[in-house]
């Protein structure tokens, strides 16, 4: 049994995800968080279609497109030649900043839907650049037209589009998202420390998280409009861990090209305890975006496919809360993990 995936966007995270599928296709388990999710192993996941608007990737065989510029993700393993070539994708006039001024290779929703149907795709994973809200929603409609599930890894809030949500429910298809949360990235690290401080009786007054990274994802995120949208999403997610109002900010601050697909996150926390004595935490985290996303995305894909098979459809709350920063029904991260693990992890 194979879960047939289509990828919208063949950027750095897609590159590392494809390498992960190759790496874990046999008996290898080093670094794999959950070998079995919903009865499925990594080797049960197969990519059957891919879409992009970058003229430097469209038409390339997938194993070559995964390393084509401007991708800077590390080459952890060699990818075998694929039968899949990257097809032209959707752009609704909201091209990522790094592609502005480029003659994009574009297809419409109907053309993408036809390719999804022809390839036998079960689930379309949306991994296009942040800020491409119209394109993300159009990919969701293409998946709906083709009878596919849809996983939205981008910050576009498709779950707040009531019409889209209702259409997926009516079609008996899963709509999962929004904004993928890395396994041990800045957001979950921030949430975890806040949760620990609260559980240990520290009265939190302030916190911040500032991210600096490389790669086109970070370059796009320093665009002012996209930056503020991401900041809102991250800040709302971390604030959930504290049961009272406090001052907090979380967001990307700058792009450093030579960092590649890596990211450094700086954190600062202020609180007080017995006799109002102050407690301060000042720390940084270094991580790699693509690898940090791989385990969570692989888990989400397998759980989503299971839901399709048992008829648990629409916005599946425990998957969204486990894997995403902006789910329709937010949960504390430990509660979300417990619910997800109880249902899907064997």
Is it the case that residue 231 has pLDDT exceeding 80?
yes
Q: pLDDT for 85-142, tens place per residue?
A: 999 999 998 777 777 778 899 999 999 999 999 999 999 999 998 889 999 999 999 9
How does pLDDT run across 9-33, given as a tens digit for each residue? 999 999 999 999 999 999 999 999 9
Contact 66, 23 (CB under 8 A): no
What are the φ and ψ backbone dihedral angles of 285, each rounded to 5 degrees?
-125, 130
Domain end residue (candidates: 270, 288, 306): 288
- Which spans in the chain are helix H? 12-23, 62-65, 109-119, 133-146, 162-170, 186-199, 215-221, 224-239, 289-310, 317-323, 333-344
**With 90 as the cut, is the pLDDT of residue 53 above it?**
yes
User: CA-to-CA distance for 116 and 141, rounded, in angstroms?
Assistant: 12
Question: Hey, how many other C-beta atoms are within 10 angstroms of the C-beta on 323?
Answer: 28
Both tokens of residue 296? 């969570």
**Looking at residue 240, which CATH number applies to its domain?**
3.30.360.10
Whether the pTM exceeds 0.85: the reply is: yes
**Contact assessment for residue 152 and residue 7, using Cβ atoms and an 8 Å cutoff:** no
Question: Does 13 lie in the same domain as 86?
Answer: yes
Task: Decide which of 266, 288, 310 is a domain's last residue.
Answer: 288
Mark whether 166 and 296 lie in a shared domain. yes
In this structure, the chain runs to a length of 346
Strand partners, 175: 150
Task: Report the C-alpha gap between 132 and 112 in whole angstroms.
Answer: 17
Strand-pair partners of 50: 7, 86
Same domain, 240 and 334: no
Q: Are 32 and 78 within one domain?
A: yes
Full residue range of the structural domain in which residue 340 is found: 3-181+291-344
Q: Report the mean per-residue pLDDT for the chain.
A: 94
Give the whole-angstrom CA distance, residue 35 versus residue 29. 7
In degrees, rounded to 5, the angle at the alpha carbon of residue 179 between the alpha carbons of residues 178 and 183 is 120
Helix (H, G, I), strand (E, B) or coil at 293: helix
For helices 224-239 and 186-199, what crossing angle results, to 10°? 30
- 72 and 172, same domain (yes or no): yes
Give yes or no: residues 201 and 240 share one domain: yes
Q: Which residue among 253, 270, 288 closes a domain?
A: 288
Q: What is the mean pLDDT of residues 194-207?
A: 97
Pair (109, 253) in one structural domain: no
- Whether the per-residue pLDDT at 313 is higher than 90: the answer is no
% the chain with pLDDT above 90: 85
Q: Is the pLDDT of residue 314 over 80?
A: no
Q: What are phi and psi of 8, to 5 degrees?
A: -100, 110
Please give the Cα distance from 81 to 68 (Å, whole number).
Answer: 14
Nearest-5° angle of CA 314, CA 176, CA 296? 140
Whether residue 135 sits in one domain with residue 90: yes
Instruction: Report the pLDDT value the prediction gives residue 102, as an integer from 0 to 100.
Output: 84
Q: Could you give the CA distance from residue 24 to residue 27 in angstroms, rounded to a whole number?
A: 7
159 and 194 co-located in one domain: no
- Residue 192 shares a structural domain with residue 303: no
User: Quick one: 211 and 261 in the same domain?
Assistant: yes
Q: Give the residue, 311 or 85, on which the prediction is more confident.
A: 85
What pLDDT is stored for residue 179 in this prediction? 95
- The CATH number for 54's domain is 3.40.50.720
Number of domains the chain contains: 2
Q: Report how far residue 293's alpha carbon sits from residue 11's, in angstroms, rounded to the nearest whole number.
A: 13
| Domain identity same for 57 and 74 | yes
User: Nearest to residue 140, comparing CAs of 131, 128, 130?
Assistant: 128
* pLDDT > 90? residue 256: yes
**In which band, very low, low, confident or very high, does the pLDDT at 54 lie, cut at 50, 70 and 90?**
very high
| pLDDT for the residue numbered 228 | 83
């Amino acid at each position: 049994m194979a879960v047939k995936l289509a990828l919208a966007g063949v950027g750095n995270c897609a590159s590392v995800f494809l390498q992960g599928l190759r790496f874990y296709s046999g008996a290898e388990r080093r670094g794999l968080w959950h070998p079995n999710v919903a009865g499925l192993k990594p080797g049960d996941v197969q990519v059957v279609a891919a879409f992009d608007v970058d003229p430097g990737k469209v038409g390339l065989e997938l194993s070559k497109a995964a390393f084509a510029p401007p991708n800077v993700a590390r080459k952890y393993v060699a990818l075998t030649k694929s039968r899949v070539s990257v097809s032209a994708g959707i752009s609704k006039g909201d091209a990522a900043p790094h592609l502005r001024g480029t003659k994009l290779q574009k297809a419409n929703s109907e053309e993408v839907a036809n390719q999804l149907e022809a390839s036998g795709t079960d689930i379309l994973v949306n991994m296009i650049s942040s800020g491409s809200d119209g394109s993300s929603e159009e990919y969701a409609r293409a998946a709906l037209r083709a009878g596919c599930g849809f996983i939205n890894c981008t910050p576009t809030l498709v779950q707040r589009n009531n019409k889209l949500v209702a259409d997926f429910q009516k079609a008996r298809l899963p709509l999962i998202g929004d904004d993928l949360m890395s396994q041990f990235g800045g957001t979950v690290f921030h949430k975890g420390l806040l949760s620990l401080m609260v559980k240990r009786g520290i009265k939190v007054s302030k916190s911040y998280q500032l991210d600096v990274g490389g790669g086109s994802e970070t370059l796009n995120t320093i665009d002012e409009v996209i930056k503020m949208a991401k900041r809102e999403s991250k800040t709302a997610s971390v604030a959930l861990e504290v049961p009272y109002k406090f001052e907090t900010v979380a967001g990307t601050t700058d792009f450093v090209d030579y960092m590649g697909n890596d990211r450094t996150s700086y954190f600062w926390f202020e609180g007080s305890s017995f006799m109002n004595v102050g407690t301060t935490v000042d720390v940084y985290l270094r991580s790699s975006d693509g690898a940090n996303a791989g385990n969570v995305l692989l888990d989400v894909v397998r759980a989503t496919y299971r839901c399709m098979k048992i008829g648990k459809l629409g916005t599946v709350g425990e998957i969204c809360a486990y894997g995403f920063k902006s789910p329709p029904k937010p949960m504390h991260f430990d509660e979300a993990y417990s619910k997800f693990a109880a249902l899907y992890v064997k």
